[in-house]
Amino acid sequence: MRATLRIILAISMCSILVGLLSSCNKGPEGISSKGKPVRIGYMICNSLAESKARFDPLTAYLSEKTGRKFIPIYVNTFDFEDLVRTKKVDFTHSNSILAVIFEKNYGVKPIAVEKRGRYGYKETGLIIARKESGIKTFKDMKGKTMVFGPALAPFGYMAQYYLMLTHNFNPEEDLAYYAIPWGAYKHEKVIYGVMFGRYDVGAAPRIDFDKMAREGKINPDDFTIIAESRPMPYCTIGAMPGVDPKLVDQVQKILLDLKKDETVLVDGEVLKVLKRAWIDGYVKADDKDYDPIRKRLKRCNMPPYKRYE
């Protein structure tokens, strides 16, 4: 009887010990602490605070679903390539120009593209003017002033620059001058710059123009859309070449399966992942969809195809 009791006690102690060891390998909410954290780099869009509010829930959701600890790294557009080159991130979230640069120079594989706005997973760039200015065509733009979005913005710079070149309009010679705004919320600054008459013409993403119209910040009827680019992929999530292929496949599946009602707990608050990220979902990235972007980058003499002549 005593021998049996000792065996039962020994089994119980082993079970407790296994449980304790198991709990040591788990972090908050059951996230495994084995191995290095998975680092996902996010390109800061309008501001750091806005980007964190949008993508911290997505990061927490990936941690929850994979059982791995994901940590976000927020970085300015022009500093992002340094993180990729020095392998300080495992996944990337960026615009499509950076996605092309990362793929060509470092082998980063695009795995998913955001769906957002009227064109789904694609976006367009607008060239706009105040309706009262009477500027309606590329010919009317000659000798005028223009404001672009950031220099590495696919739909605030590249798309519009390409449109002008293909309509025999050379921005370097045919505009009186052009500018690129400093600071945060650059796309809004472009639209406001045109609206308040600081510039004659502006280059802005359709998605920002539509968003400002929905929020009542602008009246779209006050503007003339001189031209609109073809739709092309926008915000893209990519995987670094050294990441475990099983984890890459897992993350891709999680993103593609993400539904509007999915929630995650962040700082004690239950949040809807897609709603907080301002997106409708993800689609699988297709390399050929980026060919129009590559074509425009080459024509506009932009990275990663820039020629110094």
Query: Could you tell me the CATH number of the domain that includes residue 217?
Result: 3.40.190.10
Which H or E run contains 125? strand 125-130
Question: Same structural domain for residues 217 and 157?
Answer: yes
Domain boundary among 229, 255, 271: 229
Question: Same structural domain for residues 146 and 188?
Answer: yes
Residue range 252-289, pLDDT digits in tens? 999 999 999 999 999 999 999 999 999 999 999 999 99
Q: Establish if 304 belongs to a structural domain.
A: no
Question: Same structural domain for residues 106 and 251?
Answer: yes
Question: Same structural domain for residues 130 and 210?
Answer: yes
Residue 273: the pLDDT is 98
Q: Which residue has the tokens 């119980």?
A: 12
Question: Same structural domain for residues 240 and 162?
Answer: no
Residue 20: the pLDDT is 37
Question: Same structural domain for residues 198 and 133?
Answer: yes
- Backbone φ/ψ region at 285: left (φ over 0), alpha (ψ -120 to 50), beta: beta
Q: Establish if 20 belongs to a structural domain.
A: no
Residue 16: the pLDDT is 37
Residue 35: the pLDDT is 67
Residue 34: the pLDDT is 58
Specify the number of domains making up the chain.
Answer: 2
Q: Establish if 257 belongs to a structural domain.
A: yes
3 state SS for 173-192: HHCCEEECCCCCCHHHHHHH
Question: Same structural domain for residues 215 and 291?
Answer: no
Q: Give 207's contacts (C-beta < 8 A, 6+ positions apart).
A: 116, 117, 118, 123, 155, 234
Strand partners, 283: 113
Chain-centre distance for alpha carbon 168: 31
Is the pTM above the cut of 0.95? no
Q: Establish if 25 belongs to a structural domain.
A: no
Residue 274 structural domain: 34-118+233-299
Residue 155: the pLDDT is 98
Residue 149: the pLDDT is 97
Q: Establish if 225 belongs to a structural domain.
A: yes
Domain boundary among 179, 204, 229: 229
Question: Same structural domain for residues 103 and 140?
Answer: no
DSSP secondary structure code for residue 149 in this structure: S
Residue 308: the pLDDT is 82
Dist. CA 74–CA 101, nearest whole Å: 18
pLDDT under 70 in the chain at which residues? 1-35, 309
Question: Same structural domain for residues 78 and 168?
Answer: no
Q: Establish if 24 belongs to a structural domain.
A: no
Question: Same structural domain for residues 161 and 207?
Answer: yes
Strand partners, 228: 126
DSSP per residue over 193-259, as a string?
A: HHHTTS-SEEEEEHHHHHHHHHTTS--GGGEEEEEEPPPEE-SEEEE-TTS-HHHHHHHHHHHHH--
Q: In what order do the strands lie in the sheet with 38-43?
A: 70-75, 38-43, 91-94, 236-239, 109-115, 281-284
Dist. CA 270–CA 93, nearest whole Å: 23
Q: Establish if 74 belongs to a structural domain.
A: yes
Greatest CA separation for the chain: 102
Domain boundary among 178, 203, 229: 229
Q: Establish if 13 belongs to a structural domain.
A: no
Question: Same structural domain for residues 145 and 68?
Answer: no
Q: Are 89 and 240 in contact (CB under 8 A)?
A: yes
Burial of 152 (0-12, 13-18, 19+ CB in 10 A): buried
Question: Same structural domain for residues 290 and 273?
Answer: yes
